[in-house]
């Protein structure tokens, strides 16, 4: 009688011979399911308060620009207080690069830098495409700033008891949806910028009431 081969495969060990095939199959499954999982668990923040009607002027060509031009668009607001020197310019340039991360969405997401009079001259050459740099007198700025201050107070700041309105101009990105509702504020750093852009993308792709 022939002795059984000592090299016969052990039952259940076939997967050890094809690890790359198995990894490929698992990868396909994960990539297929990921959009559905993201859609289920990732949502833009709820509305806080409506943004008031506002109208300012672009710093590059002095065109009137405001809530009417942005109606139906998602946009992120960032402030520049003056004089806008090196650190301010670098922060604004990083903000403007957010346009590149929303190119695939067409015209749905815009970026708005609101510059005080003393900051405007330094930012004149930065605006392009969906990045708008606007300025105006204190009276012209009041509707926008006051409205954001009100939403900021309802939001409660970033930390307990942190409701200083000055932080809007110095430390925060504000997100507004396509219906003119303020959605949230994020710290003005790289992480906050990324979170604001991700939330803007969700609103642009799925609408204000998904």
Does a structural domain hold residue 182? Answer: yes
Predicted structure pTM score: 0.78
pLDDT for res 34: 41
Closest among 107, 110, 106 to 98, alpha carbons compared: 110
For residue 182, the cross-strand partners are 49, 176
Task: Show the domain range for 116.
Answer: 49-206
Does a structural domain hold residue 21? Answer: no
Work out whether strand 131-135 and strand 64-66 pair parallel, antiparallel, or are unpaired.
Answer: unpaired
Work out whether strand 74-80 and strand 172-176 pair parallel, antiparallel, or are unpaired.
Answer: antiparallel
Read off the CATH number of the domain in which 80 is found: 3.40.30.10
Does a structural domain hold residue 32? Answer: no
Work out whether strand 109-115 and strand 74-80 pair parallel, antiparallel, or are unpaired.
Answer: parallel
Q: Which stretches of the chain drop beneath a pLDDT of 50?
A: 30, 33-41
Element (DSSP H or E) covering residue 71:
none
Does a structural domain hold residue 183? Answer: yes
Domain count, the chain: 1
Does a structural domain hold residue 164? Answer: yes
Does a structural domain hold residue 134? Answer: yes
| DSSP code per residue over 18-85 | -HHHHHHHHHHHHHHHHHHHHHHH--PPPP-EEPPP-EEEETTT--EEEHHHHTT-EEEEEEE-SS--
The string of pLDDT tens digits covering residues 69-123 is 999 999 999 999 878 889 999 999 999 999 999 999 999 999 999 998 888 889 9
3-state secondary structure of 43: coil
Does a structural domain hold residue 12? Answer: no
Does a structural domain hold residue 14? Answer: no
pLDDT for res 41: 42
């Amino acid at each position: 009688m022939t002795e059984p081969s000592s090299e016969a495969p052990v039952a259940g060990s076939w997967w050890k011979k094809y690890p790359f095939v198995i990894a490929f199959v698992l990868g396909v499954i994960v990539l297929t399911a990921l959009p559905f999982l993201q859609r289920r668990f990732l949502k833009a923040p709820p509305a806080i308060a409506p943004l008031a009607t506002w109208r300012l002027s672009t710093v590059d060509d002095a065109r009137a620009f405001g809530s009417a031009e942005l109606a139906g668009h998602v946009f992120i607001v960032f402030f520049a207080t003056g004089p806008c020197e090196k650190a301010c310019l670098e922060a604004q340039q990083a903000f403007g690069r957010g346009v590149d991360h929303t190119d695939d969405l067409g015209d749905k997401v815009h970026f708005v830098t609101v510059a005080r009079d003393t900051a405007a001259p330094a930012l004149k050459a930065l605006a392009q495409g969906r990045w708008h740099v606007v300025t105006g007198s204190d009276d012209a700025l009041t509707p926008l700033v006051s409205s954001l201050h009100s939403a900021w107070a309802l939001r409660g700041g970033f930390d307990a008891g942190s409701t200083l309105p000055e932080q809007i101009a110095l430390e925060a990105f504000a997100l507004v949806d396509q219906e003119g509702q303020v959605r949230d504020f994020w710290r003005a750093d790289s992480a906050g910028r990324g979170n604001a852009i991700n939330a803007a993308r969700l609103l642009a792709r799925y609408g204000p009431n998904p």
